[in-house]
Structure 1
């Protein structure tokens, strides 16, 4: 059985398309995914269909080379915090950005039950404005 940390690392540290497949395999059916206020996809989405449609599909179609690079993981009980940097170019404006992020994951029964995003949304918002 893989540890929560090993499971989570596998969703960040591979080829982007493979990462989403691995993420979907470890999401609880009722997983909650919260994108921070000020981020273009702000809100809380429940279940993999809503998470894919409102976050990952938009990232894949609205950005060029969008990446979430994890730089540090901190584990405490059933929670893992991931710290890293987003980067990409917003297609509509052609502007690139880099922004620091933190993701807080909560696990239950070996699955991701909740993710809460914290991000320097100002850096992202600057890429959105022409």
Structure 2
């Protein structure tokens, strides 16, 4: 596939994500895809996941643990077998009620027309702070966690 075709596949993947279409995302991935982000003891969808079942696990964990209130892919850069995307999101953690902002970069690597590797880089401190249970202290309504 060309760089432009890879970029269009990523755009389709983000549309599937916004629609909650996990199967559509899995269809864009290689059978042995590696889906990674920085590991956090508090964030249930962090770390490494392998294969289409791993994609299902990470996205199911994400949808069960947060409410995504904003998700914007802003810039797409495609070259060779890679597509990098810069964006931002805002989410509320269901268990704590805390909201956090996340500026992120996603890097997709393609092999034989499928995503073989997905790497997420973002504000891990803000996410961990929002997920981390606090005793007796609750974020004030409208307050957003930032690092």
| TM-score for both structures, normalised by structure 2 | 0.78
Q: 1:75 aligns with which of 65, 68, 78?
A: 78
How far apart, in 2, do the equivalents of 1:126 and 1:82 lie?
24
From 55, 67, 73, the counterpart of 1:51: 55
Q: Please give the secondary structure, in 1, of the residue aligned with 2:39.
A: coil
Distance 2:31 2:48 in 1: 15
**CA–CA distance in 2 between the matches of 1:27 and 1:9?**
13
CA distance in 2, matches of 1:6, 1:93: 36
Cα distance in 1 for partners of 2:69, 2:20 equals 12
Query: Moved runs in structure 1, 4+ residues, more than 4 A?
Result: none
- Indicate the structure (1 or 2) with the bigger Cα radius of gyration: 2
- The residue correspondences of 1:99-110 to structure 2 (distance < 5 A) are 99-110=102-113
1:7 aligns with 2:9: yes
Structure 2 gaps of 5+ residues are 135-147
- Count matched residues: 128
Unmatched runs of 5 consecutive residues or more in structure 1: none
* CA displacement 1:59-78 (0-9 Å, x = unmatched): 11111235542111111100
Distance change >3 Å, CA 96–CA 58, structure 1 → 2: same
Deviation at 1:13, TM superposition (A): 3.3
Q: CA deviation at 1:94?
A: 0.6
Contact preservation (8 Å) 1:99, 1:119: yes
> RMSD across aligned C-alpha pairs, in angstroms?
2.0
Instruction: Decide which structure has greater strand share.
Output: 1
**TM-score, normalization by structure 1:** 0.87
Residue 114 of structure 1 corresponds to 117
Residue among 62, 79, 84 paired with 2:65: 62
